[in-house]
Every structure is written in C-alpha cells, then in structure tokens.
Amino acid sequence: MTIKDRIATYVADHKERLIDELQAFLRQKSISTEDIGMEDCAAMLERELRRLGFEAGIARVPGAMPAVWGVAGGGPDGASGHGPGGAGATRGGRRMLVYGHYDVQSPQPLELWQSDPFGADIRGGFIYARGATDDKGNLWANIKAAETVQAVLGEIPLQLRFLFEGEEEIGSPNLAAVMRGLAGRLSSDISIVCDRGVHESGRPQIYLGNKGILSAEITATKGRRDVHSGHAPLIPNAAYDLMALITSMRAPDGTILVDGYLDNVKGPDADEAALLDTIPFDRDEFNRGYGLKENLGPKTARGMLERLLYYPTANVSGFKAGWLGERGKTIIPHTAWTRLDLRLVHAQTLTEAKEKLAAFIDRSPYGPFDYRISGENEEYKVPPSNPAVRTAIATAADVYGSDPVVWPLLDGSGPLCLFPRYLGAPVFMIGLAAAFSTANTHAPNENISIEQYLKGIEYMANLMVRYAELS
C-alpha cells in the first residue's frame, strides 16, 4: 500500500473522531474584535499540539492577542524526537512552516443564522459555524494532517512548524512583532498560508501572492460650524469638496488618475500569463452573480481576469458628512470624512504610493485637506517554478484527482511579505475549505463540508511527506 493510500485509510478509519474534534474546536469562541474566548482558544490549540508531541507555546506581545506556535519532526537525520530536542533549526531535513489564524469575525446578525453560530451543527454533510472556513477548518486540518503523518510513518519526516495567529480578522497589527520574536524557532525553507477554500468547480486552489495595501483617511473642513443651507450660494460645502477630490482620483471606467500612480504597472509576465489562461472565469456569470449589467474595464473574461489581479485600486470604503438622521436637516456641512483602501501591484512600493497619493491630495484645487495614510504590507509573489509550489501543485492533482486552479496573485491583500522578511521563507497560499461562493465567510451560516475538511487533511499530510522527500 502506498503512503497516499495509507494516509487515506487513516483518515477514513478515524473519520468520526476527526469530525468531532473539528466541531469541538469550532464551538470554542475566539472573536478577536471583541476579545471573546481568545485565551481559551489559544490554550486549546497549545494543548492539542503538546498532545501530539510538539514542542509548543503561546507567544505574547504587549497589547496583542496570543499567538500559538509549535515545532516537531526532523526525520531520520535527527531522530524524530518531538519536544525540545526535536525542534532546533540545526536538525536535518527540510523545514516547512504552516500558518493559520484561529480568530473569527463576530457572528452578528444572529437572527440570520439557521443554528447557533458556535454550535457546529451538521446539516446535509456541512458543518455550520463561525470560522468553519475562515480559518478554523483550514487550521485544524493541518494539525490533523500532522497527526496522520505521525501515525502512518511513525515520525514527522521534516522539520514542521506551526504558527497560529489571533489577530488576522483585525488586520494582523502585531504579526511582524510575533514573527520577530519567534524567528529563531520558526525560520523555514518554505511557508504555507492555509486560508480560503477550493474553487467553485471543486478543484483545489493555490495562490502564489497578494497585492499590497494602503489605507487613507481624508478630512475636509470648511469654516468653523455647520450653516443654514440658505447660505449655500456663499458658503463652501465640505461634502462637495471632498467628493470632488475622490472623484478626481478615478475615471468613470475605473482608471486611476493619481499622477504617476500607474507608472510601474506592467501586467503579468509570461509564466503568470500562462497561469491566467488556465483559470476558469466567466464574464456573464461574474456580472450576474453580483447583479451587474456591466463591469468596469475590459469586456472579455480574460481581460477582466488580468485587470482583477494586475491592476491597482483606489476604493472608497466609507464616507461621512452632514446630518445622517432619519429626517431631513437643511445644513451646509462644514466637515466631511472618507476612508479609502488602495491595493498595489508589481513594483509599486508602499513608500512610492504614499508619496504620490499625498502629492495628489496636496495639489488638489478642492482642498486643503487633512489626511493620514498608513500601510505596512507590500505586494508579494512567489514564482510558479519554486520547488515547493511545484510539489503542492502535483500533490493537489494526485489527491483531488484534478489539476488545481493556480492563481499567480490574489485579488486581495495580506501579510505574505512578512514571511520572507522575518522567517526567511518564500510563501504561498493553499485553500482547503469551502469555495468562496458557498462558504458564507464573514456572513451568517458560514460552513465547510465534511468532505472538504477530510480531503484537506489528506492533501496536507501528503504534501508534508512529499516536500520532505525533495532532493
């Protein structure tokens, strides 16, 4: 019997227990936005890692939610010895780090859930709970993958590290500090972020990078107080001026007009373009799914996909001005405020983007404006030729029985750039849980199918074994 078959047999033989354990994990609340259950959930993870023979602990940064780490393995070059003797970076064998986050979003609005959001009820082969896909299902599948490898081989044949964050849902403000503090323990040859899910087609899904991101808050102030709107012929309106600024940043077709902002936007290289050609994407289905008569930008599926991944954004995510009560109030608002998020691609750096945005605001004829621009996560990509990426692609095709959908870049942003910076490892993302269109991530009735969870265990167990065998 092959190792792949032995892994599948172990998962099948322990199916009920593996499901029960995921349900127990999902029932443990861990809402970072409200600091509910965070310490208890971190302790639960630490106990489970120690039970499996990992050296494990909780990393603490002042003012931050706890992060959980674990190290084990090493293979025949250093006896598998789990515990302090088995964790050192001097041990033989390849080093793989797997990252996940145990914190979840608030389950509100509760009235839209069909069952307790922390009840982990099973209906029709799906487990319904907050965090089922984002990201507890992914995380727990990796712990159980390590358990499976131990049971099948009698050891973990590589130096395996886990890092489970408790602040992803609030923007990972302390992840860099956590990584700096754990670099001696967690430095690796490759890092894998397990988040998101499989493709809507059921094919496995891999992401090789993400966009950078900036946030901007801009305030317009005109005069010292709101004024009766009868004075509108003479009194400037802060809302109008701020709207004029933000509309001057982007053309009606979505083209960004900030001076010099697009200078380093070059499009995909040849390898990335080849990957784009393999991604299923239907223009009509996309527009219909979002209730659109027409999308911005290109009108072909291939053009839309390239624009989605390789074009920066300047998005207004919030605007506040004037009287917002239920009934009218005839005033000229003297202040207005907006929040923008700006996603970066290619050689756009945070420093350069900040400078160009600031200069655009300062030169605006509608100002002056007060503003604050922040952001720490740069754009990041790993090439598809990376040996770990190639192994992950081949393993996914073997375990799932279909080629994975490989995205050269995620349309969103995240902290991928921190992994090579602090842990010395290239990084990419694997989705094990429910497809985005059905997962209800951040919404009521979040779910993961039992099949997706168990197949994720098989996949990651096989990947750990096969990565250890790379010459």
Task: Write the CB contacts of 338 (distance below 8 Å, at least 6 apart in sequence).
Answer: 217, 218, 242, 246, 316, 318, 319, 320
Distance from C-alpha of 421 to C-alpha of 190, rounded to nearest angstrom: 12
Q: Is the pLDDT of residue 414 over 90?
A: no
For 250-381, where are the E strands, in sequence order?
315-321, 331-332, 335-344, 369-374, 380-381
Distance from C-alpha of 190 to C-alpha of 206, rounded to nearest angstrom: 15
The pLDDT score that the predictor gives to residue 91 is: 45
| Average pLDDT score over residue span 118-128 | 98
- pLDDT tens digits for range 327-360: 899 999 999 999 999 999 988 999 999 999 999 9
**Tokens 């009934």, residue located:** 327
Q: How confident is the model at residue 75 (pLDDT cuts 50, 70, 90)?
A: low
The pLDDT score that the predictor gives to residue 468 is: 96
- pLDDT tens digits for range 419-438: 999 999 999 999 999 999 89
Q: Is the pLDDT of residue 379 over 60?
A: yes
| Average pLDDT score over residue span 27-42 | 98
- pLDDT tens digits for range 286-331: 999 899 999 999 999 999 999 999 999 999 999 999 998 888 999 9
> What does pLDDT average to over the chain?
94
Distance from C-alpha of 326 to C-alpha of 14, rounded to nearest angstrom: 57
Q: Is the pLDDT of residue 89 over 90?
A: no
Task: Return the percentage of the chain with pLDDT > 70, whole number.
Answer: 96
Q: Delineate the domains of the chain, giving CATH numbers in brackets.
A: 3-208+382-468 (3.40.630.10), 211-265+311-374 (3.30.70.360)
CA distances from 306 to 12, 279, 297, 302, 394 (A): 40, 11, 10, 6, 25
